[in-house]
Amino acid sequence: MTGMPEMTGVTGMPGAATTGTRGPEHADAPDGAGDALVLAGEKFASRLIMGTGGAPSLEVLGEALDASGTELTTVAMRRLDPTVAGSVLDVLGERGIRVLPNTAGCFTAGEAVLTARLAREALGTAWVKLEVISDERTLLPDPIETFDAAERLVADGFTVLPYIGDDPALARRLEQAGCAAVMPLGSPIGSGLGIRNPHNIELIVEAAGVPVILDAGVGTASDAALAMELGCDAVLLASAVTRARRPGLMAAAMRDAVLAGRRARLAGRIPRRRYAEASSPAITPGGTAP
């Protein structure tokens, strides 16, 4: 059961919808469908945010995006290559999918701030997925540079969605700095290792007053469902779909998984027990079952 939360004793059960500061707000929603994700005041019917990296072609990417039902999708900013035909922007534009530029590839706050400003100029959006990595081998986010960049971008009027480790303290500091969401990783980008520390994801969810988006590490549909069961507001993934043998089919699976996990979260899971609890009425001694 790799990735499943451990029992946490008297403090309650992981994944219980009633824990956390945001339980009552969500309790009004009767159903995972029709309960919108609200990010920086904007509503999204889908809680699946897609990345576009890794797709073998724009055609395959388009099919996967259609199957995913996503309404918000990331792109990266790179030097213009005039020899490249077609643009990921066309794929998104044709589908009415909102573009979320990222700062992937940046190692310093300065690089990330410039990249965000270039993205704002190129794409006409002040939203940015802030991503400042520490090294090429792990692609793990650098918390110091990320926080520095977040402060500068918030001051410059950006809607900042920072990619971070599964660190509850940093998540809280970034929220206080004015970020519109926090995006903790499940495991390293592209690793497919799922959610390595579900307890920390729960701690982030419990404390957060902004949406929590599980970002990076999702390998298959159950990972996405678990993220939602833990109380995340949305899931961002790319490689799990774009590098799957059949991207369109995996995208459909992710769409279902996010919705199933959301519904389970809202429904409130039963407590984990050490022993059985009969689901049929008890048989009284000497009597007969009804």
Query: What are the backbone angles phi and psi of residue 42, rounded to the nearest 5°?
Result: -100, 140
Q: Is 46 annotated as a binding residue?
A: no
Nearest to 233 by CA among 1, 92, 42, 2: 42
Interface with other proteins, residue 283, by CB under 8 A: no
Indicate which single residue of 18, 27, 59, 78 sits in contact with other proteins (rule: CB under 8 A). 78
Burial (0-12, 13-18, 19+ Cβ within 10 Å), 106 = buried
Q: Provide the greatest CA pair distance for the chain.
A: 85
Decide if 129 is catalytic: yes
> Smaller CB distance to other proteins: residue 77 or 208?
77
Residue 202 CB contacts under 8 Å (≥ 6 apart), including other chains = 5, 14, 15, 19, 20, 230, 231
The region of 37-45, 116-124, 136-144, 227-235 touching other proteins under the rule CB under 8 A is 116-124
Indicate which single residue of 19, 102, 146, 187 sits in contact with other proteins (rule: CB under 8 A). 102
The nearest distance, CB 116 to other proteins, in angstroms, is 10
Q: Which residues pair with 101 in a beta bridge?
A: 75
For residues 2-41, which are near other proteins according to CB under 8 A? none
Indicate which single residue of 104, 112, 230, 266 sits in contact with other proteins (rule: CB under 8 A). 104
> Smaller CB distance to other proteins: residue 20 or 192?
192
CB burial readout 202-235, b (16+ within 10 A) else e:
bbbbbbbebbbbbbbbbbebbbbbbbbbbbbbbb
Helix intervals (H) in 124-246: 143-155, 168-176, 198-207, 221-229, 239-242
Residue that is written with structure tokens 């700095």 in the block: 177
Indicate which single residue of 46, 65, 68, 131 sits in contact with other proteins (rule: CB under 8 A). 131
8/135 Cα distance (integer angstroms) = 34
Report the alpha-carbon angle 221-235-158, nearest 5: 160
Q: Is 62 annotated as a binding residue?
A: no
Residue 128, both tokens: 């940015």
The region of 11-19, 31-39, 107-115, 202-210 touching other proteins under the rule CB under 8 A is 107-115
Interface with other proteins, residue 97, by CB under 8 A: no
The nearest distance, CB 110 to other proteins, in angstroms, is 8
Is residue 266 a contact partner of residue 35, using CB atoms and an 8 Å limit? yes
Catalytic residue among 47, 129, 263, 265: 129
Indicate which single residue of 17, 72, 97, 119 sits in contact with other proteins (rule: CB under 8 A). 119
Q: Is 119 annotated as a binding residue?
A: no
31/263 Cα distance (integer angstroms) = 6
Interface with other proteins, residue 137, by CB under 8 A: no
Interface with other proteins, residue 52, by CB under 8 A: yes
Interface with other proteins, residue 70, by CB under 8 A: no
The nearest distance, CB 50 to other proteins, in angstroms, is 9
Question: Which positions lie near other proteins, rule CB under 8 A?
Answer: 51-55, 58, 61, 74-80, 82, 87-89, 99-102, 104, 110, 114-115, 117-123, 129, 131, 236, 238
Q: Which positions make up the binding site for 1-deoxy-D-xylulose 5-phosphate?
A: 190, 216-217, 238-239
- Active-site positions? 129
